[in-house]
Amino acid sequence: MSTRWTLTSLAAALVLLLTTLRGNADDLAPTPNVARLLAEFQVPRDADELLLPVTFRGDRYLFILDTGSDLTIFDSCFRPHLGNAIRTSRAKTPSGEMRVDLFPSPSARLGELNMQNALPVICTDLSQVREVTGHEVYGMIGMGFLRDHVLKLDLDRSIVSFLRSAPPESGQPVRIFYRSLHPRVTADVAGVIADFTVDTGCSQSGNIETSIFDQLTDRQHVRAIGLTQSATLSGIKDWRNGRVTSVSLNGFTHRDLVLTEAQDNQLGLAYLSRYVVTLDFPNATMYLNPGKRFDRPDRRDMSGLHLLRSENTVVVHSVDAGSPAASANVQQHDVIVTVNGRPASDYSLPALRHLLCAKGRTITISIAHDSLPREVTLRLLEWREISARQ
């Protein structure tokens, strides 16, 4: 299976099937070109998502910045405070369709920015998102709010800024077009020209549609490297992973990125983090300025462990067959007690996953199964490629 758990656009490239929510050209009219900072946020370094503080009813909650979601999402715990539902609609996710309830946009703030507007919000259970991310996430900031803003993502400094306009030195411009409210760009994946959603809610480098994945596999431009378990609002699904020979966007090319099969094409946060990115949504332009991570290889899990965090306990959700974890007889539902002598609770979930990507390293973990603790040693290696050669 995969390198690690991924949040494949936590709203899962949410596409509401109501044409009334699509907006029009007037909705995306340019704002006055007055360059000044509106708000700036330091995002946690120990997260694979962009977590921003949203104030609702006097309390502050972590929301994921998710350009892959049409609308902003509130956790179901807020339902009593959202009033009466406007209607129920169908939504598409990479794991299939689901029904969601729409509510009037409530009074909420992102720093000093007022998030309330004319578009509705979604209310749904995000408990699985909290387990997958290991963070107390209670919402997602979608394009219903972001479409009126200019964002700068400087992940070299772990800073997200909201600007009044894009500065002249923002970088190489890339045209954005909109499908529903999703920001899309055109990229070249090993000779296949395709449109991709710019999706900050997707924690990996990106996803490609099944038909393109198959086409590239037939041409030997993608090398299959196992499966990824992706968590979306509608559930968990296994998708194929592959290393793609090249991904090019407006003159920038990366090689051997890990892309995942899906129902839609997305460029995710692991791709965007290679740049200082300015997203000028009102003027339909993305600017790319190569950052410190431009040539960084994509991480791959070397253990075969898929981990969740539930009530501050690290639990094994599943184990890949043939992996070092499987060879050590680690099993589903085992509890990770310590890692290299430190309590597992001392690590953030992303930090644990990154630790398990260290090829050639030996990791000692103690696990509890049916209340019986034992210690196992995992030698981290590219076991998928070894299995493929045998």
Query: Which residue in 225, 254, 227, 238 sits closest to 385, CA to CA?
Result: 225
> Rounded to the nearest 5°, which phi and psi values hold at 287?
-110, 135
- Concatenated DSSP letters of 92-123: EETTEEEEEEEEPPP-EEETTEE---SS-EEE
pLDDT digit string (tens) for 136-179?
999 999 999 999 999 999 999 999 999 999 999 999 999 999 99
pLDDT (tens digit per residue) in 279-326:
999 999 999 999 999 999 988 889 999 899 988 899 998 898 889 999
- pLDDT, residue 167, reads 94
Instruction: Name the 3-class secondary structure at 1.
Output: coil
More confident residue, 240 or 116: 116
- Give, in order, the Cα–Cα distances in Å from 264 to each of 120, 188, 196, 208, 342: 24, 15, 8, 6, 40
Q: How far is CA 45 from CA 42, 203, 365, in A?
A: 9, 13, 24
Domains of the chain with CATH codes? 6-163 (2.40.70.10), 172-290 (2.40.70.10), 305-389 (2.30.42.10)
Cα Rg of the chain (Å, integer): 21
Beta-bridged to residue 123, according to DSSP, are 74, 101
Of 95-104, 113-122, 296-305, give the lowest mean pLDDT range. Answer: 95-104
Q: Does residue 351 contact residue 45 with C-beta atoms inside 8 Å?
A: no
Q: Which long-range contacts (CB under 8 A, 24 or more apart) does 365-372 make?
A: 365/330, 365/336, 365/337, 365/338, 365/339, 365/340, 366/336, 366/337, 366/338, 367/316, 367/330, 367/334, 367/335, 367/336, 367/337, 368/334, 368/335, 368/337, 369/331, 369/333, 369/334, 369/335
Q: What is the mean pLDDT of the chain?
A: 86
| Locus of tokens 């999703």 | 182
